[in-house]
Structure 1
Amino acid sequence: MEWTIQELAARAGVTSRTLRHYDSVGLLPPSRVGENGYRYYNPAAVARLQRILLMRQLGMGLPAIAKVLADEVDTAEGLRAHITALEEERARIERRIRAVRHTLEALEAGAEPRMDVMLSGFNDRYKDEVVSRWGERAYQVSNDWWHGKTLDQQLAWKKDTDDLVAAWVAAAKAGVPPTSDRAQALAARHVRWLSAIPGTPTAEGDRERSIAMVRGLGDMYVDDPRFAGMYDDEAGAAFVRDALHAYARTHM
């Protein structure tokens, strides 16, 4: 099966002049040239044009495209690489769509859009730490889960989180021991909160890594200055840490 240059141009959404230019720079020669001077393109040439157009859409210039194609040994591997690049681009576009949708929802609800809701993911600020502790997949899955929520769902989640923190602060101020029923009930609630986040070890039922995560979070609440004041003071953060450690030790 072959297509003429006019047929290929029409199918590909480009001009015949573009295809002739690709030929002149050695990027896409026709499969053959007929006695009448017509250029013809077979399936292999069409597949090559597909690659060229994909790379053009990704912002690559013709010299760079020519180098990629010249250096390429395995066409199938090259196509797999392009699929990966396209999937990454799709993910970026979907994140932008969700961000704009959040803004629209806020405006339609008569609320002033909040920058932290519109532009921040669930754990964007802690990406490096999440990746180093629990891996790239844990970050990506949880971040996609957060960005997939509507504005109302994000605000509801933030409220639940604030309520949990407030309950910890109240228990610390009441002076109950970290191993008390009240503190351990809060620790169990904290672990359920973690388990609701896809990608985390607690959500996936990985016992050993879940224990490490719960203990690690407890330590982080005390040691990391970013959490200073989250639980009112250092004593409050230490109370949460000790309660989580005790829960991990006896209930996980």
Structure 2
Amino acid sequence: MEWSIQEIARRAGTTSRTLRHYGELGLLEPSRVGRNGYRYYGPEALVRLQRILLLRELGLGLPAIAEALRGQRDTAAALRAHLGLLEQERERIGRQIASVRTTLHKTERGEELMAEEVLDGFDHTKYEKEVTERWGREAYRRGDRWWGSLSEAERRDHQREQTAVAADFARALAAGLAADGDEVQKIAGRQYRWLSVVSAPSKSHFIGLGEMYVTDERFTAHYDRHGEGTAAFVCEAMRVFGERNLTD
């Protein structure tokens, strides 16, 4: 049994571009490539993709996923570990559902609310875990301190600038400009400065962020809402900017 790259992408809720990117990084090789150049994936590749997607759900970056896959030779043991984590998440979501039902019930009846009931199951450290896993504890602390120091107006201004940069990337793509051209590289410089408000990213960090915009569906959706293909365009522009201007 095997499936085409389009079938796998559709069933996984991702894109063929993402699967090809995984292949380029050595994370997910196709089981075979047809004479027409189409990629096909068999059961082993399917299981490996499942593991990749599970690790992405846990917030791991692609380098960390590659390391995890190299270190987990026993597929069954790895899947058992994943299953345990998913069951924990299911239990937490179940508590959230119960919490919201209780809040709704008491609100409708005018009954007194209890903090432990209203907030049960809500993990306010989600982003802390994700950032720490990818870039380290100190990166989270710096970002958290900086964000906490901003006023509401300053936070809105920061978010508006990011939206403006993304829109400029999309317009450049629509105009047929090259990712390594001067005009697009100026936009990439704005992206770098926007990311540098807390701490200037190194070359590998900056390029890695660009790759995440392609491989993480959340970021892809954020950029591609300005125009299909924007995330991939931003990724390439950031790679060029990093190679030309940054060091590790």
Q: How would you bin the TM-score normalised by the shorter chain?
A: 0.3 to 0.5
The TM-score, its normalising length taken from structure 2, stands at 0.46
The TM-score, its normalising length taken from structure 1, stands at 0.45
Bigger CA radius of gyration: 1
